[in-house]
Structure 1
Amino acid sequence: MARGVIVLALLTLLSSCNSKEDAVRHELGLVYNVLRDVDIDNYEVYAMDLDGSNKKNITDLYPVDWTYYSYEDTLYFISDRGTCKRCYFLYKSNFKGEDVQKVSELELADSWMSSRKDGTELIVKPKLITENTFYILDQKGNIINRLETELAYAADPLFVNDGEQVVFRGGKTVGKHIDGFDEELYIMDSDGSNLKQLTHYPEEDGSAGKYGYRAGAPKLNPTENFVTYQSKQDGKYSLYATTLDGSKTWKLTENSQNEGWHDWSPDGKWLAIELFDDQQSQFHIGLMNWETKEMEVLTDDTFKYQQAPNFIWKSRD
């Protein structure tokens, strides 16, 4: 009798855990970028459920709209709407593309971003003559602080350690077109001090060439507290990880396809990945269960370029 009660309790607990996981998956969505029209260079932001259903163009204009970041139920995207081509400004909306608002009059570079202090402060890369600067903005788009790195180039800033530090992609020249760029991930304090190199691309590996990613935009695993990034090594783009002190670096996944820009779900249980073939003839969005490593491709071949997924809550409780 006691054994039956224990078994029933375990089954009830397991069912409860599965129900919670299903509920989280139902409440979360993905937003990602699509090249809708090659001829006019028209990029749009699309949204879908985590099972790949209900795909929708949520920006639906004819300039460049591109999302790099979401916080809770707020989608942030850069756009050149109403201005010169590739002159980017920051906008926000919800999962459905409703209530679009311009966040700031500050022109931005084409770069990933992140936030701290419950989403009240954003770190961005402005469009400046200098290539090594980040700004921290408040919710109204006002500049709170300016961070100068000690490198010639810096992009894709990511707050870590509760916003006390910033991980970013850096280079030793102002761009990849100049010899000696040597792209890696770096970490510094949020006042710009104590710069430290985190990653070290294998010296014997020339796979990335001059223009491929040695270390792509960093993302933080929110529960295990390590940083992930794409890197072209051994002739293929894969995801790699590093601890925040740089003491350990490892290959994160073993997918047969190339892996690029990606994002972690808020609970760390799901990993959304941009997948593509060697010729980069087709890009898909995949969803990996981090515990089981099972991968599900969520997109079809309607569009060639489907990239840079990030998680977003469909609505606020």
Structure 2
Amino acid sequence: MKNFTQMFSNINASLFINGLLSAFLFFTVNQASAADFISEERQLSDKEVRVGEAYYRTDMKWMAYQAEVAEENPFYQIYLKNLENGKVRQVSPGTGKTTCSWVHPLQEKVLFSSTHDDPDAKAKMTAEIERRKSGERQSYAWDYDEFYDIYETDFEGGKIKNLTNTLGYDAEASWSPDGKLIAFASNRRAYTEQLSEEEAALFKKDPSSLIDIYIMNADGSNVKRLTQTNTYDGGPFFSPDGKRIVWRRFSANGREAEIFTMNIDGSDQKQITHLNMMSWAPFYHPSGKYIIFSTNIHGHRNFELYIVDVDGKKEPVRVTDKEGFDGLPVFTPDGKYLTWTSDRTPEKKGHLFHGKWNHEKALESLSLN
């Protein structure tokens, strides 16, 4: 689900022109207005420096998300919000980097990735603080830190358990709807297996190139690799019935990505989008009938949300129309609301936005009624 800003700088003028042409074709094919899909839109976060990736527990009483808050740590930490009383608590250790939280559907557990066990975690925090104080400008980019492991903790953040404990980037994890499985992304084989000369050179140039989708039992056992490419496969989420996984696959040059789905054993891999742009961050609607995702088809820095049917047989439909970044969408478990990350703020920092979702209009626009 990461490195969208890094990818911005890699997209050249020809891709931009291609995007404008594709956008024109979309506008002529589909006349649905973005305002038809999301109403009562509001910003959920504002006190934090930046916020992103909010996910709900099945009963809609809790929401986990990542935020940059504390001055002593310039990196994201994981927070849990009680949606009944509005109280927020930090559940990650507070040291190092964190990302990709998820709330267990049945138990009081939070899933996230962290580098807090990195011996140099505090030194890296200090270095980043000093860099910012110096005024050095740097585009936001994900670094695929090899010390990222996947952890679970209780709702107090007091019982933290390492589920992967393997050198390499282990992140982007989510529990299955029954809480028995975890899908995640990892480049661990670059650290644990003998690579070919071609793969070793590719990994040295781009650590994300060997990231694949994996699945494991909820206790970290029985790890299986599901994708077999030398491009970045990441951001896996389970379908509402737990039978399939949706994810995004980057192209070899890292400039484009498309949405894919597969069975949870890795079989029947299907390409859902064919936009030839940067399409990523897919998420199923609870109905299981369509997928929402983000794409920059309207300009390399203008990411918008689209929906597409689960078989990829219909033309994707645009559901946001604000300049800037709109991505990382997630439906509430009842399917009635949408929460996503956007930089449509005066500071141009990522924050959470929320709105009422028109499911019937979505079905109609995709001819799924």
TM superposition score normalised by structure 2:
0.60
Q: Is 2:186 the partner of 1:186?
A: no
Q: C-alpha deviations, 1:101-127, integer Å up to 9, x for none?
A: 222323453642333361111111223
2:233 to 132, 137, 154: 154
The residue type paired with residue 78 of structure 1 is S
- Structure 1 distance, partners of 2:303, 2:351, is 14
Aligned to 1:240: 306
Aligned to 1:305: none
Residues 237 and 283, structure 2, Cα contact 8 Å, conserved in 1: yes
Aligned to 1:297: none
Deviation, 1:224, is 4.8
> Whose helix fraction is larger, Structure 1's or Structure 2's?
2
Q: C-alpha deviations, 1:75-114, integer Å up to 9, x for none?
A: 1110111225531111112344343222232345364233
Relative to structure 1, the CA distance from residue 134 to residue 192 in structure 2 (aligned partners, 3 Å threshold; closer, same or farther) is: same
Residues 112 and 217, structure 1, Cα contact 8 Å, conserved in 2: no
Residues 237 and 260, structure 1, Cα contact 8 Å, conserved in 2: yes
Deviation, 1:39, is 7.9
- Structure 2 distance, partners of 1:232, 1:280, is 21
What residue ranges of structure 2 are gaps of 5+ in the alignment? Answer: 1-56, 122-144, 191-208, 360-369
The CA RMSD over aligned residues, in Å, is 3.2
Aligned to 2:114: 79
- Structure 2 distance, partners of 1:90, 1:234, is 35
Deviation, 1:34, is 1.4
1:286 to 349, 353, 359: 353
Aligned to 2:76: 43
Aligned to 1:131: 210
Aligned to 2:341: 274
Aligned to 1:30: 63
- Structure 2 distance, partners of 1:137, 1:25, is 21
The residue type paired with residue 242 of structure 1 is V
Deviation, 1:198, is 0.7
Q: C-alpha deviations, 1:228-260, integer Å up to 9, x for none?
A: 111123232221111110012111334566322
What residue ranges of structure 1 are gaps of 5+ in the alignment? Answer: 1-23, 209-213, 293-317
Deviation, 1:159, is 2.3
> Whose strand fraction is larger, Structure 1's or Structure 2's?
1
- Structure 2 distance, partners of 1:69, 1:26, is 13
SS at 2:225's partner residue?
strand
SS at 2:159's partner residue?
coil
The residue type paired with residue 354 of structure 2 is L
- Structure 1 distance, partners of 2:251, 2:211, is 10
SS at 1:216's partner residue?
strand
Count of aligned pairs: 255
SS at 2:69's partner residue?
strand
Deviation, 1:55, is 3.2
1:218 to 274, 282, 300: 282
Residues 336 and 356, structure 2, Cα contact 8 Å, conserved in 1: yes
Residues 109 and 152, structure 2, Cα contact 8 Å, conserved in 1: yes
Residues 150 and 195, structure 1, Cα contact 8 Å, conserved in 2: no
Relative to structure 1, the CA distance from residue 26 to residue 228 in structure 2 (aligned partners, 3 Å threshold; closer, same or farther) is: closer
SS at 1:137's partner residue?
strand
Aligned to 1:94: 154
SS at 1:218's partner residue?
strand
Residues 105 and 141, structure 1, Cα contact 8 Å, conserved in 2: no
Aligned to 2:273: 199
Aligned to 1:109: 169
Deviation, 1:156, is 1.2
TM superposition score normalised by structure 1:
0.69
- Structure 1 distance, partners of 2:99, 2:220, is 18
Deviation, 1:261, is 1.5
